[in-house]
């Protein structure tokens, strides 16, 4: 034993006498480490040794998914994989009693409705707080009745149902603690089902209806007094003609935030939305089959119900539904007394010009402080709305920030910004999101900066920013 031994060496020498290092780490520590790993890794530990066989089942958070089929396997093999997973989850739920968060997310493939019912039944014995079920088409038949035991989920705070089934909701369904509900890809059997689901959530705060199917349904009533946030997303392009007459009533006195993305012919009836703070509206008349006047009426009715809002995101496509002045009386637009932030943006092609309806909107936003628009508004430079004739009063009294999301630096655009600078004394910041070719032309940018600054030297900060779609998306997300 010549020479010095460092403390690490001593430690290693001692280590050699211990055969199984597992005894070094107590079970609690092992479970803690497992809780930091993805569920797939965790289940794999079951084959390490007999001592590990059931250790993973003591965890409380599980995320099982088969996001897509394996393309090198046959349909039957994929079906087997799915059944195998459902059986695995069933065994877990029967063995354990401490599952708190469970997510099962399987791509669209047939699942056995009985297996699903049995899973839900086993899950109801745990004190689940979060449950996500995103499952495919049921076999043998389309309909799936939510089992009554669903009412036993007393501690459930958050539920995500992505069941591509025709859903029958029992009349006594009740989720006493449910605060957040996401329903996607579901087809409701009838109007009663929808009502029963909503009235079974006495403390619901957030509701999302995503791509649901309403074939036999003409009216949905969302009357939830505790609701704070409502998101409705019906793919605007995937709408039957039969859906054109659908009505959605929203009666939610505590609603703070509303987001509606759907076909413009769906009629929203807002009732008593006195608490509303922000709204996001994208209504697209994709099919052009419904009379313009009806669409306009729907939009006016929705906007009127939102007239207390402080912040509004509205797409250019929505405004374009109102563009036909021979049919549409834009005086029917409500006045937004509290609106300080308005963002108009393009849902798809970012370069589409700002709707000519914008000047009419601006006349109804007396307190506007921040304005985002896709491109400059040509109507302000020529024609009846030319700024020589009429100027929205919010420019003179409150506008502080202007952002143009697609700026290429041509003469009209520069003139537009100059007009704003001249007529908006409180304007302190302008953000111009530029196309790449403009940003690359450093001299041109400097020249435009000079031209603009000469209007009111030093009074306004003018920024030339990268207009890439991703940046815009991030920006808009922050804005919301």
Partner 1 sequence: MASSSSNLISLKTSDGTVFKVERALAKTMKTVQAIIEEADANIYMIPIHNVFSHHMDMIIDYYKLSVAGKSKEFSVEKLDNDELKDFLLAVHYLNMEDLFEVLTQAVADRLEKKSVGYVRKYFGIENDFTPEEYAAIRKKNDWAFKGDDIEPEEDEEKQEE
Binding mask 432-471 for partner 1 (x = CB under 8 A): ----------------------------------------
β-strands 257-263, 247-251: how paired?
unpaired
Stretch that binds partner 1, among 47-55, 207-215, 225-233, 261-269 (CB under 8 A): 47-55
Q: Which is nearer to partner 1, 19 or 349 (CB)?
A: 19
Q: Which stretch binds partner 1 (CB under 8 A): 78-86, 250-258, 269-277, 357-365?
A: 78-86
Q: Does residue 50 touch partner 1 according to CB under 8 A?
A: yes
Residue 423 contacts residue 393 (beta carbons within 8 Å): no
Closest contact distance (angstroms) between CB of 47 and partner 1 is 5
Interatomic CA distance for residues 316 and 355, integer angstroms: 6
- Applying CB under 8 A, which of residues 27, 74, 87, 454 lies at the interface with partner 1? 87
- Do 404 and 433 form a contact (C-beta atoms < 8 A)? yes
Of 86-94, 130-138, 180-188, 385-393: span binding partner 1 (CB under 8 A)? 86-94
Work out which of 13, 27, 44, 388 binds partner 1, going by CB under 8 A: 44
**Residue 88 engages partner 1 in binding (rule: CB under 8 A):** yes
Is residue 389 part of the contact set for partner 1 (CB under 8 A)?
A: no
- Does 85 bind partner 1 (CB under 8 A)? Our answer is yes
The verdict on 326 binding partner 1 (CB under 8 A) reads no
Stretch that binds partner 1, among 39-47, 132-140, 353-361, 374-382 (CB under 8 A): 39-47
Residue 274 touching partner 1 (CB under 8 A): no
29 touches partner 1 by CB under 8 A: yes
In the bound state with partner 1, the residue whose beta carbon lies nearer, of 25 and 382, is: 25
Least distance between partner 1 and beta carbon 33 (Å): 5
Regarding 64 and contact with partner 1 (CB under 8 A), the answer is yes
Angle (CA) 196-202-205 rounded to 5° is: 110
Residue of 1, 36, 469, 477 interacting with partner 1 (CB under 8 A): 36
107 scored as a contact of partner 1 (CB under 8 A) = no
Pick from 66, 145, 168, 435: which binds partner 1 (CB under 8 A)? Answer: 66
Q: Residue 43 interacts with partner 1 (CB under 8 A)?
A: yes
**How many residues at the interface with partner 1, by CB under 8 A?**
44
Give the residues lining the site for partner 1 (CB under 8 A).
7-8, 10-12, 15, 19-22, 24-26, 29, 32-33, 36-50, 52-53, 64, 66, 70, 73, 77, 81, 84-85, 87-88, 91
């Amino acid at each position: 034993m010549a020479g010095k031994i460092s403390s690490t060496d001593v430690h290693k020498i001692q280590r050699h006498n211990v055969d199984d290092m597992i005894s070094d780490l107590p079970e609690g520590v092992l479970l803690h480490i497992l809780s930091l790993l993805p569920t797939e890794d965790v289940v794999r530990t079951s084959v390490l040794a007999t001592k590990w066989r059931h250790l993973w089942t003591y965890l409380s958070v599980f995320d099982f998914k088969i996001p897509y089929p394996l393309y090198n396997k046959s349909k039957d093999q994929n079906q087997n994989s799915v059944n195998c997973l459902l059986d695995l989850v069933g065994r877990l739920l029967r063995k354990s009693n401490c599952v708190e968060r469970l997510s099962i997310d399987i791509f669209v493939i047939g699942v056995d409705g009985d297996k699903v019912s049995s899973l839900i039944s086993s899950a109801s014995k745990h004190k689940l707080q979060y449950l996500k079920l995103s499952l495919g088409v049921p076999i043998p038949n389309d309909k799936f009745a939510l089992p009554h035991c669903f009412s036993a989920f007393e501690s459930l705070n958050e539920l995500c149902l992505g069941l591509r089934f025709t859903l029958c909701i029992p009349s006594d369904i009740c989720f006493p603690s449910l605060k957040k509900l996401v329903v996607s890809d579901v087809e409701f059997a009838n109007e009663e089902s929808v009502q029963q689901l909503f009235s079974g959530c006495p403390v619901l705060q957030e509701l999302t209806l995503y791509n649901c199917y309403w074939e036999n349904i003409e009216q949905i009533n969302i009357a939830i007094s505790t609701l704070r946030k409502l998101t409705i997303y019906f793919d605007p392009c995937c709408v039957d003609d039969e859906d054109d007459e659908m009505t959605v009533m929203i009666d939610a006195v505590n609603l703070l935030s509303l987001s509606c993305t759907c076909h413009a012919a769906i009629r929203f009836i807002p009732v008593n939305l006195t608490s509303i703070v922000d709204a996001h509206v994208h209504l697209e008349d994709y099919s052009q089959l419904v009379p313009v006047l009806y669409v306009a009426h729907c939009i006016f009715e929705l906007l009127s119900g939102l007239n207390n809002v402080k912040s509004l995101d509205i797409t250019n496509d929505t405004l374009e539904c109102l563009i036909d002045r021979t049919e549409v009386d834009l005086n029917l637009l409500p006045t937004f007394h509290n609106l300080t932030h308005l963002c108009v943006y393009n849902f798809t092609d970012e370069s589409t010009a700002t709707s000519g309806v914008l000047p009419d909107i601006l006349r109804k936003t007396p307190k506007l402080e921040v304005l985002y628009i896709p491109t400059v508004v040509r109507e302000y430079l020529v024609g009846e709305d030319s700024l020589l004739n009429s100027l929205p009063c919010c420019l003179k009294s409150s506008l502080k920030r202007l952002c143009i999301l697609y700026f290429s630096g041509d003469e009209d655009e520069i003139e537009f910004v100059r007009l704003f600078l001249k007529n908006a004394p409180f304007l302190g910041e302008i953000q111009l999101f530029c196309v790449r070719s403009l940003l690359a032309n450093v001299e041109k940018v400097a020249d435009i900066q000079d031209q603009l600054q000469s209007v009111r030297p030093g009074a306004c900060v003018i920024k030339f920013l990268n207009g890439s779609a991703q940046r815009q998306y991030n920006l808009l997300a922050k804005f919301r």
